[in-house]
Each structure stands twice: as structure tokens, then as C-alpha cells.
């Protein structure tokens, strides 16, 4: 399998979508009343041109080519870039290197589910429970938010406090911003 990837950079955000039952549950809980259906249920971040940091059961640093080859044809991926300085890229790299091996934030998932239920019933406040569950264990999107917060030296890199984002929140933010550019798209999911 030949990959036609562009030159990737530290800080590029990688979004994943598939048709697994876990992905469908995540998408259901992160799609709120009045919002179009969520597409992406997982995200990671490039820490250099070859390694992507991901928060699965633990933070792992994986070869991007192997991650893409390991996904089924039923997976869609996009990679988005914000033009970062070398200093910002270095902060993102350092964040992920320090986090390697950190456990997944199970309490954060509970908070995402409860906020998702609030969103289903039309409540405007979508991060109520995520504000209550402040831990050093994070979800995939929370980890990306924290790395970007360190790079930008600001608490809200994606319009909400870092560590409380869902993959859909980050994807919605980059879509609406003229500062973020899509650099790669795997194409539609085969059904």
C-alpha cells in the first residue's frame, strides 16, 4: 500500500472515523441537538514528521504510516495543520513525550457522556460535567487540546478550556477557522 502523504509537521491534528460500535456510540453522544451528525470519534497529533501521539488505553507514539496501514478500509482520516513556529512545535513534541504511557481518562469519558446527554436535550451548556472532572488523565481530544494549549500559551486553543474537547469539538473548530488547513484526506469510508 503506497501512502501519498504530504510532509507532516509537529502539531498537525489527525482525525479518525470508522463504523465500529465504539465509534458510533462516541458520535451519538457528541452530536448535539441542532448539530449535523458527528463524523470523527478519535484524534491524535503529529509530534514530528513520522510519529503520531495518540491517547488510547495509554498514550502511545506510533509511526503514522503504520497507523494508517493498520486501519481498515472502513476508516476515514483527515490531517489538519496550523502554521506553528518551531518553538510551538517543540512544546507539542515535549508534551507528548512526557505523556507517553499516561492512562486514559475514564472519568473524562463519563463526563463526555453526561454532557452528551445534556446536549441531546437541548441544554446550551455542553461542558458542564467536563468542568467537574478535572484530572490528569485525558481522552484523545483532551490530550490534543492540552498540547495545543502549551504551544499557544493560552487556556482555550479550541474555544473551550484545554482538556475538555471532544474530537468533534476540535474538528468543528478547525473547519470554521481560516488559520487551519486540511493537508490530507483518506477519502470516504467504504460501507
Average pLDDT, whole number, for the chain? 81
pTM (two decimals): 0.81
What's residue 71's pLDDT?
72
pLDDT at 45: 98
pLDDT tens-digit series, residues 39-64: 788 899 999 999 999 988 889 999 99
pLDDT of residue 146: 92
pLDDT-derived band at 5 (thresholds 50, 70, 90) equals: confident
Contact 126, 35 (CB under 8 A): no
> End-to-end alpha-carbon separation of the chain, Å?
20
Q: Residue 191 above 50 pLDDT? A: no
Q: What is the C-alpha separation between 7 and 28, in angstroms, rounded?
A: 33
User: Are 23 and 111 contacting, i.e. CB atoms less than 8 angstroms apart?
Assistant: no
Q: What is the mean pLDDT of residues 15-28?
A: 71
pLDDT of residue 39: 77
pLDDT for the residue numbered 12: 98
Q: What residues does each domain of the chain span?
A: 13-185
Q: What are the pLDDT digits (tens) for 84-129?
A: 999 999 999 999 999 999 887 666 667 656 766 676 666 555 666 6
> 60-96 as b/e, with b when 16 or more CB fall inside 10 Å?
bbeebeebbeeeeeebbbbbbbbebeeebbebbbebb
Task: Assess whether pLDDT exceeds 90 at residue 10.
Answer: yes
Query: pLDDT confidence of 141, banded at 50, 70, 90?
Result: confident
* Residue partners of 100: CB distance under 8 A and separation at least 6: 53, 59, 60, 61
Q: What is the pLDDT of residue 114?
A: 72
- Residue 69: pLDDT band (50, 70, 90) is confident
pLDDT for 95 equals 96
The CATH class, in words, for 13-185 is alpha beta
Q: Taking every pair of C-alpha atoms in the chain, what is the biggest distance, in angstroms?
A: 46
For 125, which DSSP code?
A: -
Q: Across residues 136-159, what is the average pLDDT?
A: 88
Amino acid at each position: 500500500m503506497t501512502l501519498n502523504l504530504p510532509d507532516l509537521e509537529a502539531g498537525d491534528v489527525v482525525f479518525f472515523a470508522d463504523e465500529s460500535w465504539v465509534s458510533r456510540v462516541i458520535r451519538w453522544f457528541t452530536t448535539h441537538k441542532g448539530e449535523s451528525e458527528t463524523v470523527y470519534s478519535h484524534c491524535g497529533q503529529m509530534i514530528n514528521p513520522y510519529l503520531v501521539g495518540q491517547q488510547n488505553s495509554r498514550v502511545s507514539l506510533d509511526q503514522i504510516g503504520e497507523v494508517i496501514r493498520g486501519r481498515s478500509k472502513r476508516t476515514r482520516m483527515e490531517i489538519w495543520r496550523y502554521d506553528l513556529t518551531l518553538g510551538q512545535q517543540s512544546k507539542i513534541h515535549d508534551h507528548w513525550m512526557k505523556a507517553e504511557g499516561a492512562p486514559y481518562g475514564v472519568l473524562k469519558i463519563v463526563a463526555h457522556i453526561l454532557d452528551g446527554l445534556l446536549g441531546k436535550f437541548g441544554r446550551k451548556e455542553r461542558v458542564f460535567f467536563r468542568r467537574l472532572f478535572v484530572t490528569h488523565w485525558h481522552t484523545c481530544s483532551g490530550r490534543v487540546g492540552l498540547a495545543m494549549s502549551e504551544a499557544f500559551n493560552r487556556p482555550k486553543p479550541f474555544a473551550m478550556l484545554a482538556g475538555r474537547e471532544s474530537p468533534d469539538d476540535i474538528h468543528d473548530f478547525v473547519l470554521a477557522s481560516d488559520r487551519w488547513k486540511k493537508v490530507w484526506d483518506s477519502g470516504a469510508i467504504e460501507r
